[in-house]
Amino acid sequence: MIAPELEREKIHTISTLKLENYLKNQGWKKTKLIGDIASVWSYQKQDKAVGLLLPLDRDFADFDNRMMEVFSILEKIENRPKSEIVAALQNNSIIAKSQHREILEFRFSYVYQNSQEAPAKKIGSILKSLQDFLSAIGKSKVQSKRLSIRQEMKSELELSIVETFTGSFGLRLGLSQGQSRQLNLLEDPIAEQAAQDLIELISASANEDSEILHEKISKLYGKPSIKFKSFLNNLSTLQANLSLDWGSVHPEKGGFAEISYNNILRTLEIIDTKDMESPIKISIIGKLLLAGVGNDKKYRKFIFEEQETHQDYQGTISRELLKNIGNDLNVGKKLYRATLEETTSVNKATGEEETNYQLVGLESLSS
């Protein structure tokens, strides 16, 4: 197949909705809609206006030729190869099928500045928190599986940067390549489930009805919801609107979601309120390493070591629990079942996620 034919084939698969969003982000304005057949766009370049006709109906006889004209105009306006523009707009489902993995494409449109770049440190924090979120989703779904299966599934959720885009800054990410493992024959592959959860959360966050978001967050419960909050916190530092395009190996999966910068901030407020109203409760068995230390009686400190993992949890003892237990505490020897309330906050100075624990229940398991 000669190059022009391959290029025409790629252009034919590009979503016209995605192309319209691209034109908006590049500063084009829609000036006319011709039924459901085409739309007319205008771009102000120095002292003259440039126009283009975007075909919308794929059954239109001249659709491919018109699309080729659109990309020839964009090539001149943007002063970069047509192939780069085509690559940025390719159908992610086609890429997913050809690479045998789920594809996540992120586009950032800045609210307060016109830039085609993104700070490396902020993008790094966003990618790390996104990876943490996907890993937490996977962990929550495979806790009951054998260790070898859990490790394999964890590797399937590792992100790689496939491509970056100019224009409105964008990233195309891919989950690990290879045959995805299913939890069982009745469930979807773990990478597919994680991508589904992400796009549903972004859609719910953009919805005016906050109850939809409450419902989605409640279903996650625990670490995934905490990691999603951390992801949004890092995302907010860019001060940009986000669009997410998910391309799936599964022919009936995939999707598109958008969220504005204002809705990112609003979602964080909703999650903060929910955390205050219903903090996450966890129950663990272990020993007290420290209890009742502190000058302020309202905020007595504790350190609790979980028996199985030897992980230390530390924080404050609730006033109600202090009243009930008084001085009846055995440090270092006695086994207890502890009930902790877990909340998450973000240090505004550093942007780092901080997990806080309050000891609200203590049951002795040994005499």
How does pLDDT run across 308-338, given as a tens digit for each residue? 888 999 999 998 888 887 666 777 778 999 9
Q: State the CB neighbour count (10 A cutoff) for residue 124.
A: 11
How does pLDDT run across 187-212, given as a tens digit for each residue? 678 899 999 999 999 999 999 898 89
Cβ contact 31:42 at 8 Å: yes
CA pair distance 217, 204, nearest whole angstrom: 9
Query: What is the side-by-side order of every strand in the sheet holding 255-259?
Result: 159-165, 170-175, 103-110, 240-247, 255-259
What is the structure's pLDDT at 324? 80
- Band of pLDDT at residue 61, cut at 50, 70 and 90: confident
What is the structure's pLDDT at 328? 63
How does pLDDT run across 8-60, given as a tens digit for each residue? 888 888 888 889 988 988 889 999 999 889 999 999 988 889 999 999 988 88
Number of residues that this document lists for the chain? 367
Residues of each domain in the chain carrying CATH 2.40.50.140: 280-364
Q: Is 230 helix (H, G, I), strand (E, B) or coil?
A: helix
The vertex-204 CA angle with 200 and 208, nearest 5°, equals: 160
pLDDT at 225 over 90: no
Of the candidates 205, 216, 338, 225, the one whose C-alpha atom is nearest the C-alpha of residue 275 is 225
Tokens of 36: 């459901």
CA pair distance 338, 185, nearest whole angstrom: 37
pLDDT at 350 over 90: no
Of the candidates 113, 106, 184, the one whose C-alpha atom is nearest the C-alpha of residue 144 is 184
Of the candidates 200, 190, 300, 297, the one whose C-alpha atom is nearest the C-alpha of residue 246 is 200
- Band of pLDDT at residue 101, cut at 50, 70 and 90: very high
DSSP state of 52: E
What is the structure's pLDDT at 180? 53
Tokens of 185: 């024959």
- Band of pLDDT at residue 222, cut at 50, 70 and 90: low
What is the structure's pLDDT at 179? 54
CA pair distance 4, 25, nearest whole angstrom: 27
Region 280-364: CATH code: 2.40.50.140
Q: The whole model's pTM is what?
A: 0.69
Q: What's the rounded mean pLDDT across residues 273-280?
A: 68
